[in-house]
Amino acid sequence: MNSVSVTASCTWGDLEDAEGPVTKEVAMVVNIQLSLYCGYFLRNKTFVLKLLEKPAVMQLPEKSILPVGDLVLLTCEVTGDPEPSVTWTKNGKSSIPRAQFENDGRILVIKYVRPDDSGVYECKASNKFGESRTSTTVIVAGKVH
């Protein structure tokens, strides 16, 4: 039986996981040149390997203090491959009745805020490689007229 050896040279770093998908903090495309040998040189072919990554979420401001009647606009900026899904919670609950969501759920909007809109809002991004979260406290100050 002939043995086959595979040699690889990468233009960036070392591949760390030969058992499954290769993940890195930053997704990038790596050109890998594989040379297959079976006792003699068979062929030289270039492949493109896309590195996948778990989601990363940009930090939201620690807190926002808004007057009654103002607009809350929270943006969950995420990266990841495959594209992460984004969900929001308020005080740990997934139901946020007065909120509207834009840009595939990445932007949370509440118009004409009231004191009961105050709370901790958390953005969670997830894909098959993991999840990332960030939160902010919204404080609505004043009285409804």
Please give the chain's pLDDT, 145 residues, in tens.
444 444 444 433 444 444 444 444 333 444 444 444 444 555 555 656 667 889 999 999 999 999 999 999 999 999 999 999 999 999 999 999 999 999 999 999 999 999 999 999 999 999 999 999 999 999 999 877 6
Count up the domains in the chain and report the number. Answer: 2
79 and 124 co-located in one domain = yes
90 and 126 co-located in one domain = yes
The pLDDT of residue 15 is 42
How far apart are the C-alpha atoms of 105 and 10, rounded to whole Å?
37
Range of the domain at 75: 54-141
Helix (H) or strand (E) holding 30: strand 29-37
37 and 82 co-located in one domain = no
41 and 95 co-located in one domain = no
73 and 110 co-located in one domain = yes
Would you say the C-alpha torsion 128, 87, 139, 111 has a positive or negative sign?
Answer: positive
Residue 131: HSE in the Cβ half-sphere, 13 Å Cα cutoff: 11
21 and 43 co-located in one domain = yes
41 and 107 co-located in one domain = no
CB atoms within 10 A of CB 28: 13
61 and 130 co-located in one domain = yes
How far apart are the C-alpha atoms of 53 and 79, rounded to whole Å?
8
The pTM of the full predicted model, rounded to 2 decimals, is 0.68
The pLDDT of residue 37 is 46
The pLDDT of residue 47 is 58
Question: In the structure encoding, which two tokens stand for residue 48, read together?
Answer: 């493109």
